[in-house]
Amino acid sequence: QLSSLLVFLGDIHIARHVDVEPVNQDKLADGPQYSRSVDKARVIVRSFEATTQALYDDGAVLLSKTQRVRRMESCEAWRGRDESYDALEALTSSLDFNLQIARQNLESLLLIGQEQSNILERCNKSPIEWRMSQRSLVAAILADEALNRLSSDNDLYDTSIDDAEEILKNVAQGDEQPSPVQKSPLPPPVPTSGKPTITPRKEIPHWASLDDEDLGLIRTPPRPDKIKAFFGDDAPSHYLISRTAETKPWYLRPNYDPVEVLIDPDGTVRGGTVPALVERLTAHEYADPKFSRAFLMTYKSFMTLDDLFNLLVDRFWIQPPPNMSTQELGDWRHFKQTIIRMRVINTMKSMVQDEDVLEKEEFGILDRMAEFVSRDDVISIAAAKQLLSSIRRVQRGRDVKKIRTNMSADPPPAPVVPKRIELLDIDPLELARQLTITESQLYQKIRPSECLQRSKQSRTEYHDGVANFIRRSNRIAHWVTYSILCKDDPRRRAAIMKQFISVADRCRLIQNFSTMMAIVTGLNSSPIHRLKRSWEQVSSRYMSQLETCEAIINSYKNYNNYRTALAAVAPPCVPFVGVFLTALTHIQDGSKDYLPGNLVNFRKRQKTSEVIQDLQRWQTRPHNFHPLPSVLVFIDEALGQFGDQDAGDVFWQLSLEREPKEKEEERLARYLHESGFF
């Protein structure tokens, strides 16, 4: 509808209804009034042109944005609302506003046209529409002459300059000297209602239809530079690449069949065969770091390491197609073979240098890589020498590890050293810092392969970095619960509650959401939540801090508040790892591994890679706090008393001992006694 409206606005002939360039207005009796109407018409026409251009611009942006919005699948519910919808709503509001302005401009121009017509009629002058229709006959007459000449097998462009000048001269004479060339019927006058009448265009008979070749026109596909000029910075790069690829010689195009790779409108790979995906991994046309990273992170889910190595070697030894000229062979070697070989070597280098790709039990592949790189026709490449050096370094036990250092130039904050190593004697901020030191170290040890394994397997026993991280969080929750229940007096229990609430709030401030989550979980556990007498001793200030922490980790709308808070902070941060594991599980259960035609569902792997990269984002920079050995030992001893067994029943019995269940009359009597009635 927007496109049809823009076509309609472009076809409006404003000069046929409103005079913006008056002719001989000095001869008019109401000349000053006519001049003022012309000035107003000019201003409104400029406003109409600007509004129409704004509609074109908003329409182009709307087209670009709608192509970026994808249907939200069930496995993507963890992402929340797509930001593109907000941009579409803003565009819709802008379009609605500009449409109202354009409508007002047209109504104003119609009123001015009617005013000018009344002035001309009073002065016995020809109507504006008649004069302008005479001028607009030039194009119609020229086109009519061209069609007549073409039907008589004459050239379309044989119309002489003298004939055109004669036509223009006759038309310019207007109603004073009717032109003998004119044969068309007079156009209808402007209706008295003031609204223009839309006259449908005359259809050309089928016997007069013309082909592009007859008119000398050559239709070419849109060029990348035109697409770039139209879309600007939002130009779809994948479309530019595909259009450029179509203009390349056949021997420089990809080897795989187009049906072997499925591309989404946003340019990401939806699926493909294993050989086609490996070819795209080492494509000579362009480099796609996002695709490469996702491929190397998830390839073990659809192929083995040996299969990947064999396909990379075959890709390196790519052979030229037959029947090529010497010039074509030179271009093929320079623009395709050389680039492909560099991509293969760089891919192998990433596999060796990235500790997240190869496990230690897979280092046997390094011998095959070294044998391949050591060949005379391979080692001559400079990048191959660097690859061989990395392989030797890893084989000697000097693994290439990721360097994770604190990038902050500021020194760690001065610690608050406690006088006594007791729970209530340690400053809440310092206790939060010391908890964060160990928590951050455990988070740094989580590897992508562990997350992938958990999303694919349903077993409950793991002995990896993720298990150690979760185990510590559970023990912190148990520590909170036991520390409160071991006190027999409600006031002493309330003091422990307030201390842990303050520690959780400090963890929130230093962006340790994992420990904050564990402490709040312990405070909200059933054995602690039912301690009414103890909670009554907690002031509103502490309850407000607890409510703030609870609001962040609320599971409503898939932890929407937590995701918003996490998006607003920068490293260092220790996030709640359970959200990432839940997202991986939804992706694994919500999508199939293969698409119809035995194509690898690479979109599923891409989403998995994005979640893991979000997890790795917070591993780039650890917290920078000064460790206090005495406090760390105290925390380790407190957490070490809890094993992996569920202590829920023990805590519940202890909670009943601290505050037994009251009968209704006993609870009423206690309330009356505490309120001062007894």
Tell me the per-residue pLDDT of 613-647, one tens digit each, with 9 for 90 and over.
999 999 988 999 999 999 999 999 999 988 877 88
Q: Are 602 and 272 in contact (CB under 8 A)?
A: yes
More confident residue, 522 or 37: 522
Share of the chain above pLDDT 90, in %: 44
Tell me the mean pLDDT in the region 643-665: 83
pLDDT for 360? 85
**Alpha helices by DSSP H, 232-381:** 237-246, 274-281, 289-298, 305-316, 326-332, 338-353, 365-373, 376-379
What mean pLDDT value characterizes the chain? 79
Considering only CA atoms, give the Rg of the chain: 39
Q: In what side-by-side order are the strands of the sheet with 594-595?
A: 261-263, 269-272, 599-601, 594-595
3-class DSSP state of 174:
coil
Structure tokens at 84: 């593109």
Most confident of 3-17, 408-422, 488-502: 488-502
Mean pLDDT along residues 179-195:
41
Mean pLDDT of 335-340: 94
3-state secondary structure of 629: helix
Choose between 206 and 611: higher pLDDT: 611
User: Which residue type sits at 407?
Assistant: M
The reported pLDDT for the residue numbered 198 is 40
pLDDT digits (tens, 9 = 90+) for 12-55: 877 777 877 765 566 666 777 777 888 888 888 888 888 888 88
Report the pLDDT averaged over residues 470-491.
94
| Range from 123-132, 195-204, 330-339, 632-641 carrying the lowest mean pLDDT | 195-204
Q: pLDDT per residue over 231-282, tens digit each?
A: 565 555 555 555 555 567 888 888 988 899 998 877 889 999 999 999 999 9
Q: What pLDDT shows up at residue 399? A: 52
pLDDT the model gives residue 234:
56
pTM score of the predicted model: 0.63
H/E stretch holding 263 reads strand 261-263
- Residue 110's pLDDT is 83
**Rounded CA separation 106/655 (Å):** 78
The domain 428-575+618-670 having CATH identifier 3.40.50.1220: the answer here is: no
Contact of 260 with 272, CB cutoff 8 Å: yes
Task: Report CA-CA distances (Å) from 5 to 90, 203, 393.
Answer: 20, 21, 67
Higher pLDDT, 653 or 226: 653
Least confident of 396-400, 551-555, 612-616: 396-400
Of residues 608 and 225, more confidence is placed in 608
Of 17-26, 286-295, 326-335, which gets the smallest average pLDDT?
17-26
Share of the chain above pLDDT 70, in %: 72
76 in helix, strand or coil?
A: helix
Query: What is residue 165's predicted lDDT score, i.e. its pLDDT?
Result: 44
- Compute the average pLDDT of residues 179-198: 41
For residue 209, CA distances in Å to 83, 215, 248 come to: 48, 11, 34
262: enclosing H helix or E strand = strand 261-263
Query: Mean pLDDT across the stretch 658-678?
Result: 68
Tokens, residue 63: 């087209």
Q: Would you list the domain boundaries of the chain?
A: 2-208, 224-395, 428-575+618-670
Three-class DSSP category at 36: helix
Bigger pLDDT: 142 vs 109: 109
Band of pLDDT at residue 463, cut at 50, 70 and 90: confident
Check if CATH label 3.10.20.30 holds for domain 224-395.
Answer: no
Of 556 and 523, more confident: 523
**What's residue 134's pLDDT?**
42
Q: Which of 391, 456, 412, 346 is nearest to 624 (CA)?
A: 412
Does position 75 have pLDDT exceeding 80, yes or no? no
- Average pLDDT in the 379-405 region? 79
Q: What is the pLDDT of residue 84?
A: 67
Q: Which position has the higher pLDDT, 169 or 17?
A: 17
Of residues 647 and 429, more confidence is placed in 429
Reported as a single tens digit per residue, the pLDDT across 90-117 is 778 788 888 888 888 888 888 888 887 7
The count of other CB atoms within 10 Å of the CB of residue 71 is: 6
610, pLDDT greater than 90: yes
Cβ within 8 Å of residue 118, ≥6 positions away: none
Residue 372 has pLDDT above 70, yes or no: yes
Residue 305, pLDDT score = 95
85 or 574, which is more confident = 574
